[in-house]
Amino acid sequence: MARIVTPTAFDAIDPKKRVRNVALTFLAVGVGVLVLYLLEGIGSTKLVQALALFAIWGVATVSLNLINGTLGILSLGHHGFMLIGGYTTGLLMLDEAARQRILTSARSTMTEETLALSVSNLLRGFGLEALTTPETLWVRFLIAIFLGGLLAAFAGLLVGTPSLRLRGDYLAIVTFGFGEIIRLTASTRLFSAYTNGALGFPGVTSEFGKSIWWTFGALAFTVFVISKLKYSSYGRAMQAIREDEIAAQAMGVNVAYHKVLGFVISAFFAGVAGGLWVSWLGGVRLDFFLFQLTFFFLVAISAGGTGSITGVLLGTAVVVFVRQYGDPLEESYSIQTWLYIASATLALAAAGAVLFRTLRRLRPRLHWGSWVLVGGAAAAALVAAVDPAVIEGTFRGFGMRAIFLSVLLIVIMVFRPDGMLGRTEFSWSWFLREQRTGPTDEERTQDAWLSNPAFGSEAGRAAAREQELAEDDTDAPEGSDDEGRR
């Protein structure tokens, strides 16, 4: 007798809850759009730029997370793909005045043929004169970032096909190597006709990269595509590869295909992010695409939660905030001030250590390391307060933001390697007191070990009993055979 399992309050696929969640999501998006609209009107240029940068880097981190989080491969070559997308977009969207300037400049290495490459000329070639007016700049920009993404995806295919056969850390080094090769060869004479060598070129329109609507549109598109992918059969295959490559292969997952597919899609969005990034910067230069960029993305992913799209966006917000609003850290202060800052930092670190040890119930709560930190804090404060000699002079904390981010990454890796959200996605249930206390009935019945009647719920137990009965019925004649064999 089949028993109908009624959906419980904890059930993830309850249709009512689903409708509610979708409605809440739409509401949140609506509120978000409204807030963005208000911020664009009220907020300072700096804020708008920071928001745009958040969205651009969000595109990059969400796409990098497809490789690093969903596919479980550590890829360190994202800046290379962004470079390809960025240079393509930059070259195709260069305005006419800038082209003339480059053509007449003596140091430039670009030729007339490469400078003739632009979306306008392409559209003219197709006879679409209507799309080359200043009003339709956005169509050209769309085409340019799409082409940039395609080129980056092609590069991803070229890079991924041979290298994805390697395992773990070798693969990381090879992707790093490819990223650096892309950057190092971009300035050589193979490509300098397109990239203008080490000089790069200014004069890319920043109308789109600095617009909240364009960048957040791109981010929404990226999140939509990548989350759809994550929950599709492709995404599940990718997660299976992340968990155990050999087991996934044994279950019939085409490992190489899924890896290359993930890599190519990620490279496409990296190219799109590169195009927007170039537009945000208003020009192209080689040092806009250093390994540093990939490092920032790694910090964002690790801080937010590897594998979780919402977590990664949270991490990106942190990184962008530090980058855009951390400039007080890099200003020139007197050495006394710096000593006080150091003292406060050490004291905070000691407090954090005590808190951590308390929460983890480690004893003694005051580890000797904390005493060292406290001692250092006291010493720094003492020197600052007493010694007049060191108070003279100022010191500029050049690079403090990067130091802060790298320390943040080390701390996260040591104390919470899963990041803020781990692999879980944001869910409305967090706010509605619907914490799941255990697996759903469906999960219980699916899971062989948990469906053991001793562990299962009432429903699971009933299902197990039925199954047992059914097996007893069919196996009854063979049961004696079994015993005989034993």
Residues near 88 by beta carbon (within 8 Å), at least 6 away in sequence = 144, 147, 148, 151, 152, 271, 275
Per-residue b/e over 269-289, b at no fewer than 16 CB within 10 Å?
bbbbbbbbbbbbbebbbbebb
> Of 63 and 302, which has the nearer Cβ to other proteins?
302
The widest CA-to-CA distance across the chain, in whole angstroms, is 97
For residue 384, the minimal CB distance to other proteins (Å) is 14
Minimum CB distance to other proteins, residue 104 (Å): 25
Give whichever of 416 and 461 is closer to other proteins, judged by the CB atom: 416
Residues that bind other proteins (CB under 8 A): 72, 74, 76, 162-163, 165-166, 168-170, 172-174, 176-178, 180-181, 184-185, 188-189, 291-292, 295, 298-299, 302, 397-400, 402-403, 405-407, 409-410, 413-414, 417
- What are the beta bridge partners of residue 333? 395
Write down the least CB distance from residue 166 to other proteins, Å: 6
User: Are the CB atoms for 272 and 260 separated by under 8 Å?
Assistant: no
Whichever of 28 and 413 has its CB closer to other proteins, that residue is: 413
Cα distances (Å, whole numbers) of residue 407 to 229, 401, 474: 33, 10, 63
Nearer to other proteins, 95 or 418 (CB): 418
* CA distance linking residue 467 with residue 475, whole number of Å: 12
User: Residue 12 or 255: which CB sits closer to other proteins?
Assistant: 255
Kindly tell me the sign of the dihedral angle through the C-alpha atoms of 25, 431, 243, 291.
positive
Contact 127, 119 (CB under 8 A): no
Tell me whether residue 177 or residue 352 sits nearer to other proteins (CB atom): 177
By the 8 A CB rule, do 3 and 462 touch?
A: yes
Q: Which two tokens stand for residue 109?
A: 């290495």
Q: Which helix (H) or strand (E) holds 114?
A: helix 112-115
Q: Distance (Å, rounded) from C-alpha 160 to C-alpha 260?
A: 6
Name the strand (E) or helix (H) holding 284. strand 283-284
Measured from the CB atom, the residue of 298 and 322 that comes closer to other proteins is 298
b/e per residue, 247-265, with b = 16+ CB within 10 A? Answer: ebeeeebebeebbbbbbbb
Distance between CA atoms of residues 355 and 362, nearest Å: 10
8 Å CB contact between 441 and 5: yes
Contact 277, 56 (CB under 8 A): yes
Q: How far is the CB of 268 from other proteins (least distance, A)?
A: 22
Choose between 68 and 205: whose C-beta lies nearer to other proteins: 68
Least distance to other proteins from the beta carbon of 272, Å? 25
Residues 6 or more apart whose CB falls under 8 angstroms from that of 321 comprise 50
DSSP letter string over 62-107? HHHHIIIIIS------HHHHHHHHHHHHHHHHB-HHHHHHHHH-SS
Smallest separation, CB 408 to other proteins (Å): 8
Name the residue among 125, 159, 160 with its Cα closest to residue 143: 125
Nearer to other proteins, 174 or 421 (CB): 174
* Residue in this structure with the two tokens 């710096």, named with its chain if needed: 338
Residues composing the chain:
486
Q: What's the closest the beta carbon of residue 376 comes to other proteins, in angstroms?
A: 13
End-to-end CA distance of the chain: give it in Å, rounded: 33
Closest distance between other proteins and the C-beta of residue 174, in Å?
6
By beta-carbon proximity to other proteins, the closer residue of 163 and 440 is 163
* CB nearer to other proteins: pick between 141 and 178: 178
Q: Residue 328 CB, nearest distance to other proteins (Å)?
A: 16
Using alpha carbons, select from 226, 409, 405 the residue that is nearest to residue 302: 409
CB of 162 to other proteins, least distance (A): 6
Shortest Å distance, C-beta 205 to other proteins: 31
Whichever of 189 and 485 has its CB closer to other proteins, that residue is 189
The CB-of-409 to other proteins minimum distance in angstroms stands at 4
CA 449 vs. chain centroid, Å, equals: 35
